[in-house]
Structure 1
């Protein structure tokens, strides 16, 4: 898929000389882990926790596209990619191999929030930029953490459902796998609103993998047990697609449903005229992480945490997303557009 690629005066030179005379550099004070002693073109490491899910493949695609652009600009010469296949211990070993190879930056989706702390501290001490996104680590030995707000996601989805039902109705709740932080945070985000609206009755809730087939099976079982359902509060796009298919197969009327930007769900939404709301974890967080790593290495001011606003999909803009569906895998995610201007705006947040 084609990605957007939008992208020293004498006084600056004088400032650089002055800083060197003083024994400092712009990079020293700009961002954590940065020592200012690494020079372009840089080698980036992408420490992937697993590569099989389509979401991860799309995310890696945005990283590779950004790296190609950075190569053209003379800022990057190599991307080192590892795949831990879901094993946090393997991921730690692979990060260590990146440190041993003296990469200049590590881009990380963490398999564990706590396990990589020691190896990341080692990388940070060696002046390696570390950009952690999506699944975050507890340690502050990173250059920046980048993420949307999963709690806010759950709150907004729950508000849509309450409003859609006029504050009264029987609902099912669909969660991702139990114990996964993103899933748990989304669910927790809706707690206060659900408590404050006793007219919303939770008939049942279930945890399944973020895949259509198990979600459809789980919802089918719930439909047999509950003949009257007014809404489905779903915290995942594949879960929502499975729910819509289950209702359809059972000859049940479609009900208001939340979800995310899975292409199949968005297409079913349009096809069946659903009353829906969705948001997303944008795949371009990967590209943004690569860009942020290079900006930090170049001595730019990079905040320790970058909060990425949740893009919202509703009936006012779903056609804009579906118009680009052909550019995305059938089992993939239609993520929001991005460019360097957006990246710079996010990095300018204080």
Structure 2
């Protein structure tokens, strides 16, 4: 999981958007109708709340940066008055209570990164009944009784990573799989997305796999242990950026030559990839999903139709463009994520608006 400044569009992301034909998707989707939940006398400047499940991870801190920057821009336009941020510290029940407090305060919009796919359904539905714009991003809830959901496709994330590995190894080789925490929707979905590709390529042998939190230290420890019992490997199918950084550090500690590896836009991983001359592939869960969530809520409050679901394309990082990401590394925390550029033109494109 996933600060931002309004910046120019990246070529790779624009290409991904074109490939997905978002305008066609929005026009054909039955969910593309008058924005859900919006009712009552709600006029700008709006009061917005962000109900966050936890704020400690760097990905979340960067995401908060995109939200506060977006709100600052909207304040200058006279569209938003206040931003209220809560931190449930990983407890879904606490997050429910905090969302209820936002409802009781009659906020105009609530954006949610959910701590549970099911536990928040009732309180989110209640917010919708009260005419509050509710936009859910990153970690999604089951209920569709809200204004919009925004996310990348985690299954596609895993599929693309696995397909790159298969292609890189020519359809034959021994690999280790590194997963995020078991039971977390993002890590589970990435792993599920990879499996059909592995099933279709019997020449790829999965020696072993592991689940660790999205953190370099436990990932390094796990890979160090795995290398003792599996020294002869051809690739690492890593489904998280900090996991990939930990794996490369373990290779270095063991004096093992690096092998092709997948990952995401975690700064340390990208730097090690370049430094070690690794053959790599990565994508990302853009931190600016938070800013897009605020923008979407405001658009809905302003009376515009927004899609009930916005599928954000997955940018690809490879040898052809890794340099452009590392050129901007100084603008991101050492333990952070170098995410793709964004601006309101991108947001309008994603919402299929002109």
- Is this a same-fold pair by TM over 0.5? yes
Q: Which position in structure 2 is the counterpart of 1:136? A: 140
Larger radius of gyration: 1
Tell whether 2:51 aligns with 1:41: no
Q: Contact 2:219–2:246 (CA<8 Å) still a contact in 1?
A: yes
* Cα pair 2:48 2:83 within 8 Å, conserved: yes
Partner of 1:30, secondary structure, is coil
Q: Which residue of 2 aligns with 1:343?
A: 347
> How many pairs align?
327
Partner of 1:16: none
RMSD between superposed Cα atoms in Å: 1.1
Q: Tell me, which stretches of 5 or more residues in structure 2 are unaligned?
A: 9-32
Distance in 2, Cα, partners of 1:223 & 1:113 = 35
Say which of 95, 109, 126 aligns to 1:122: 126
Q: Name the structure 2 match of 1:4.
A: 6
Task: Determine the structure 2 residue equivalent to 1:15.
Answer: none
Within the candidate set 249, 264, 270, 1:245 is matched to 249
* 2:219 maps to 1:226: no
TM-score by length of 1: 0.92
Higher relative contact order (CA closer than 8 Å, sequence separation 6+): 2
Distance, in Å, in 1 between the alignment partners of 2:4 and 2:189 is 33
CA contact (8 A) 1:36 1:297 kept: no
Please name the residue that 2:187 is paired with. Answer: 183
Counterpart Cα distance in 1 of 2:271 and 2:101: 42
Question: In the alignment, is the contact (CA less than 8 A) between 1:35 and 1:127 conserved in 2?
Answer: yes
Aligned counterpart, 2:331: 327
Q: Give the TM-score normalised by the residue count of structure 2.
A: 0.91
Unaligned runs of 5+ in 1: 7-28
> Using the alignment, how far apart are the partners of 2:243 and 2:7 within structure 1?
33
Alignment of 1:42-81 (within 5 A): 42-81=46-85
Distance across 2 between alignment mates of 1:228 and 1:311: 31
Equivalent residues of 1:5, 1:69 under 8 A apart? no
Give, in angstroms, the shift of residue 30 of structure 1: 2.2
Q: Deviations over 1:106-156 (max 9, x none)?
A: 000010111111111111011100000000000011100000000000000
Paired position in structure 1 for 2:36: 32
Output the CA distance in 2 between the equivalents of 1:160 and 1:192.
Answer: 13
1:172 is aligned to 2:176: yes
Q: Tell me, yes or no, if the aligned pair for 2:191 and 2:239 is still in contact at 8 Å.
A: yes
1:271 paired residue number: 275
Asked if residue 282 in structure 1 is aligned to residue 286 in structure 2, the reply is yes
1:53-110 deviation line (CA, Å, top 9, x unaligned)? 0000000000000000000000001001100000000000000000011100000001
